[in-house]
Structure 1
Amino acid sequence: MYVYILTNTTKTVLYIGVTNDLARRLYEHSQSRGDTGKFTGRYQTDLLVYFEACPDAMQAIAREKQLKGWTRSKKDALISAFNPSWNPIDLETLSD
């Protein structure tokens, strides 16, 4: 299971989610780009800037709730510690 954070190109919006298949979920987010009925589509948040693996669904959901309760500055610090330049993470290059 994964907890992940997406942002938009201007890095003004953060989206926090949970999934058991990060690549599939990122693809799904990219397909809803511009769909105003969905948060990630409305705010065009489809750039992965942070993720972490969790041992099981319960822990992933708990971590997601914890992160969602944080201030924006604390979330920014977490992302910056993991990905200092906030460059979009390409999962394909991680598996090489």
Structure 2
Amino acid sequence: MGARHYYVYILASHIGGTLYIGVTNDLIRRVGEHKLKLVEGFTEKYDVVKLVYFEQFDDPENAIKREKRLKKWSRAWKIALIEKDNPGWIDLYPEIAGGGG
């Protein structure tokens, strides 16, 4: 059995738009659920479905700690974190889902 991974991710409605931070053990499935509007609530209401940032962890404790820490960050810090690796706020989902783009 392979090692299990956990992910902290940031979704955005558009460049500079509304942000959502979540944690999951299946990034492709979870972001897919957000995109298909299967997750009721915030992301569905505000159309926050672009995967603009994620981090991978080997254990749930560290992933959950990181998620809680990021949620406390100022908006400016969150934007800087996204733009460090993804300055164009490109949707990373097609890349991780194997769809190519």
1:21 to 1, 26, 34: 26
> Among the aligned pairs, what percent are the same residue?
46
Asked if residue 84 in structure 1 is aligned to residue 87 in structure 2, the reply is: yes
Task: Please tell me the root mean square deviation across aligned C-alpha atoms, in Å.
Answer: 2.1
Contact 2:15 2:89 in 1 (8 A): no
Asked if residue 47 in structure 1 is aligned to residue 50 in structure 2, the reply is: yes
Q: Distance in 1 between matches of 2:23 and 2:99?
A: 19
- Report what 1:59 is aligned to: 62
AA of the residue aligned to 2:45? R
If the length of structure 1 is used for normalisation, what is the TM-score?
A: 0.87
Give ranges in structure 1 of 5+ residues lacking alignment.
none
SS in 2 for 1:88: coil
Contact 2:14 2:89 in 1 (8 A): no
Contact 1:32 1:38 in 2 (8 A): no
Q: Distance in 2 between matches of 1:74 and 1:11?
A: 12
AA of the residue aligned to 2:32? Y
- Report what 1:69 is aligned to: 72
Q: Give the Å deviation of 1:39.
A: 0.3
If the length of structure 2 is used for normalisation, what is the TM-score?
A: 0.83
Q: Distance in 2 between matches of 1:80 and 1:68?
A: 17
